[in-house]
Structure 1
Amino acid sequence: MYKGCQITGNLLSILIEQIHLYLLQYNYYENRYYYRFTRIT
């Protein structure tokens, strides 16, 4: 039971890490455009 939970926890943390990296990349591009936009106005 505990081992199953541990494996699920590991998978969840890996998944969260992947999503986090993806969001970081996405936010990087978003922030670049946002920064440019705010610089113009």
Structure 2
Amino acid sequence: MRKQLVAWTILTSAIVAIAVWSVLGPPDHVAGPHLPSRDLTASVR
């Protein structure tokens, strides 16, 4: 029962990840703790 639950959870999360990937496309930037706007203002200064 527990293995079935783990397998179902992994399968569901994989399907959700594929759906999000197909809708949004691959990420263009690496997510980090800083905002892109902050980098923009730093480069202007």
Q: TM-score, normalised by structure 1?
A: 0.56
Q: Quote the Cα distance in structure 2 between the aligned partners of 1:23 and 1:9.
A: 21
Q: TM-score, normalised by structure 2?
A: 0.52
What's the RMSD between the two structures over aligned residues? 0.7
4+ residue segments displaced more than 4 Å: none
The unaligned stretches of length 5 or more in structure 2 are 26-45
Which ranges of structure 1 fall in alignment gaps of 5 or more residues? 26-41
Residue identity over aligned pairs, in percent, reads 20
Matched length: 25
